[in-house]
Amino acid sequence: AEPQILIEREENIAILRLNRPQALNAFTADMLVQIREALDRLGADVGVRAILITGEGRGFCAGQDLSDPFVAPNPGGKPKDIGHLIDHYYIPMALALRDCRVPTVCAVNGVAAGAGMSLAMGCDLVYASDAAVFVLGFNKIGLIPDCGATWLLPRLVGRAKAMEMALLGDKLSATDAELLGLVARTVQAEQLFGAAKAAALRLASLPTRALVETRRLFDAAQRSEFEPALRAESRAQSQLGFAHDYSEGVAAFMQKRPPQFDDR
Ligand code: T3D
């Protein structure tokens, strides 16, 4: 059988491709495990300084594979426990993405539906092809947005739009997604991969540890008052101040040369 994800290395970035194009890269349980393992493994590899996630074929990811016997309801039979799938497969993947030790870039090449949209939203930098479409779709199958969507979507687009997308489940074009702040940038389809790769390479040249701390503090600040956020910044800054990348960054600036960052 074809591998469900493909991993390539290019310079100091890793490219992770969802590879079930015939089903618009819908997730199977195996695939979720493989994505989680890849994020952990690549994030721990000092040769990898950014991870680019994209989909093979015309779709990015259609969310849970609804024909997977693991979850597909079997009329008349015993109902399946979706909670088991969420707890053991989706949550570990969502946490691996949130805690990834290098920055992540998503190139949304086509439709991102259900948990596929959550995967995209969970990445640090999201670029979308002008052919991409975003749809939660959970409402149509009697479920709630998951894989972090209830947390991520209202923060990205605000409650009003998040409610509209979740309750009505309409498709959003890439252009609208950019206007709403759901993606950082929309790029012409032919240029998407190149633009996302260039961004990943740029991230790879920057101080990884500081970038990952920035993600952590942005997320933490969402749950915090202003003053605790100031204190958390101070603690993180103090740690970073003792680290190599800070001395290297300042030295490189003073000596007018490119920096060589390597903290993790
Ligand atoms: O158990 C649980 O469900 C819990 C887990 C929750 C996490 C979730 O992600 S739930 C949400 C699951 N996803 C969806 O509900 C989306 C279902 N798909 C669609 O609504 C549409 O396919 C799209 C809007 C994504 C794209 O539409 P379109 O018209 O571009 O393509 P299509 O013709 O519908 O799909 C192309 C093929 O992919 C088709 O197969 P075929 O006919 O060519 O053999 C279609 O069946 C297949 N496909 C699309 N999405 C899925 C899928 N196969 C399995 N699972 C899918 N999710």
Local confidence band at 22 (pLDDT 50, 70, 90 cut-offs): very high
R_g over Cα of the chain: 19
* pLDDT over threshold 90, residue 190: yes
Local confidence band at 72 (pLDDT 50, 70, 90 cut-offs): confident
Determine the average pLDDT of the residues in 15-20: 98
pLDDT in tens, 163-173: 999 999 999 99
Does pTM top 0.80 for this prediction?
A: yes
Determine the average pLDDT of the residues in 124-152: 96
| Pocket probe mutation, ligand 1, options 20, 61, 65, 66, max atoms within 8 Å of Cβ | 66
Dist. CA 18–CA 7, nearest whole Å: 9
Going by alpha carbons, the residue nearest to atom 3 of ligand 1 is 64
Q: What is the pLDDT of residue 69?
A: 80
Question: In whole numbers, what is the pLDDT of the chain averaged over residues?
Answer: 96
Local confidence band at 29 (pLDDT 50, 70, 90 cut-offs): very high
3-state DSSP of the chain: CCCCEEEEEECCEEEEEECCHHHCCCECHHHHHHHHHHHHHHHHCCCCCCEEEEECCCCCECCECCCCCCCCCCCCCCCCCHHHHHHHHHHHHHHHHHCCCCCEEEEECCEEECHHHHHHHCCCEEEEECCCEEECCHHHHCCCCCCCHHHHHHHHHCHHHHHHHHHHCCCEEHHHHHHHCCCCEEECHHHHHHHHHHHHHHHHHCCHHHHHHHHHHHHHHHCCCHHHHHHHHHHHHHHHHHCHHHHHHHHHHHCCCCCCCCCC
Give CA 113 to chain center in angstroms.
14
Instruction: Assess contact for 174 and 132: CB atoms under 8 A.
Output: yes
> What's the CA-to-centroid distance between 26 and ligand 1, angstroms?
7
Q: What is the pLDDT of residue 87?
A: 96
Determine the average pLDDT of the residues in 228-238: 95
Q: Which atom of ligand 1 is nearest to the CA of 140?
A: 15
Q: Which atom of ligand 1 is nearest to the CA of 137?
A: 15
Local confidence band at 78 (pLDDT 50, 70, 90 cut-offs): confident
* pLDDT over threshold 90, residue 81: no
Determine the average pLDDT of the residues in 250-260: 96
CA dist 1 → 4, 53, 54 (Å): 9, 21, 20
Q: What is the pLDDT of residue 90?
A: 97
Local confidence band at 9 (pLDDT 50, 70, 90 cut-offs): very high
Percentage of the chain modeled with pLDDT above 90: 94
Q: Which of 62, 64, 42, 65 is nearest to 52 (CA)?
A: 42
* pLDDT over threshold 90, residue 159: yes
Q: What is the pLDDT of residue 236?
A: 95
ipTM: 0.97
> What's the CA-to-centroid distance between 144 and ligand 1, angstroms?
16
Q: What is the pLDDT of residue 75?
A: 76
Determine the average pLDDT of the residues in 57-68: 96
Q: What is the pLDDT of residue 68?
A: 86
> What's the CA-to-centroid distance between 23 and ligand 1, angstroms?
7
